[in-house]
Structure 1
Amino acid sequence: MPTVRARRIINAPVAQIWAAIRDFGSHSQWIEHHPKITLEGGDGLTIGVRRRVTYSDGSYFDEVLTGMDDRVWVQEYDVIGELPLPVYNVYGAMQLYPVSGEGPTLVERRLTYDTPLSEAEARDFEQSRLQLLSGSLDILAALFE
């Protein structure tokens, strides 16, 4: 199972960034292409809530919030159902690491998955996921500039 990790230093205290990402239903402001997010089975802080992420072209995917820990600033989720990508068993996480008390903060997005792709195709796919995760961290960082 490959794991793709994108990291970015954001010039803001960990508490401010956590406040922006903690609600699983509020991520459209910093997810690439600003998709519509709908929740089923709870609010954005409810473990087990299902989130549908729908893009303007009608494509979508579903995720379930599987873990959140305010003590270590981590949020974990599973991607479920059919995906328009050559992957399965997809798990994601975001974690914040304070560099100092007043900022900046290291933000990490992780994506772990299985894929039936050949080795060369898998490397290309991994690179595309890294660009996607990195892009979302750039958008998140812009909220604090």
Structure 2
Amino acid sequence: MPEIRTERMINAPPAVVWAVLTDFSSYPAWNPHLVKVTSEDDLRVGSKLKLDIRREGVKDRSMTVTVTELIPGRKLEWVGTLVSPLVFTGRHTFELEPFAGDRTRFLNYETSRGVLDSLVTTADPERDYESMNEALKWHAETATAAPA
């Protein structure tokens, strides 16, 4: 079961990082990897999200996922399947950990399996996740620095 695992220290409190992470309507303005996320209902366990995914060196694609775990301010996880779990299943997790005052350790990772796993992921999938992490860091830190 392949795993992509990245993390980033963000100089903003978890509440700010969470607000940016879960404001899906703003993704087109800042997120280079998940360029659009839409939902027909509130974010909750069982919600369906449609993801428009941009990956370097691979054709953009869309995927519908189901939120499987939600701990506000701490963790968001979803699972997506292509055709059937035997073909491809990806479990994507975002975790926020408070760190030294008003900083946040942001973890962005995914485990996947299935016969098409090598075709769905890129040769360097960490690059796509890191680009999102860096953009989230910049966006959250900018929001923290903005005057109230």
Same-fold call, TM cutoff 0.5: yes
Aligned residues of 1:8 and 1:107 also touching (Cα < 8 A):
yes
Higher strand fraction (1 or 2)? 2
Identical columns (%)? 23
| Alignment match of 1:47 (pick from 45, 62, 66) | 45
Partner of 1:35: 35
Shift of 1:17: 0.8
Q: Please give the residue correspondences for 1:133-144 in structure 2 after superposition, counting only pairs within 5 Å.
A: 133-143=129-139, 144=141
Provide the secondary structure at the position in 2 that maps to 1:59.
strand
Aligned residues of 2:51 and 2:64 also touching (Cα < 8 A):
yes
Partner of 2:145: none
Give the direction of change, closer, same or farther, for the CA distance of 1:52–1:105 in structure 2 (3 Å limit): same
Q: d(CA) in 1 for partners of 2:14 and 2:104?
A: 6
Give the direction of change, closer, same or farther, for the CA distance of 1:18–1:64 in structure 2 (3 Å limit): same
Q: Please give the residue correspondences for 1:1-145 in structure 2 after superposition, counting only pairs within 5 Å.
A: 1-22=1-22, 25-26=24-25, 28=27, 29-32=29-32, 35-40=35-40, 42-43=41-42, 45-54=43-52, 59-70=61-72, 73-82=74-83, 88-102=88-102, 104-116=103-115, 125=121, 128-143=124-139, 144-145=141-142
Unmatched runs of 5 consecutive residues or more in structure 2: 143-148
Unmatched runs of 5 consecutive residues or more in structure 1: none
CA RMSD, 1 decimal: 3.0
Shift of 1:141: 0.8
Shift of 1:34: 5.8
Provide the secondary structure at the position in 2 that maps to 1:15.
helix
Q: d(CA) in 1 for partners of 2:124 and 2:116?
A: 14
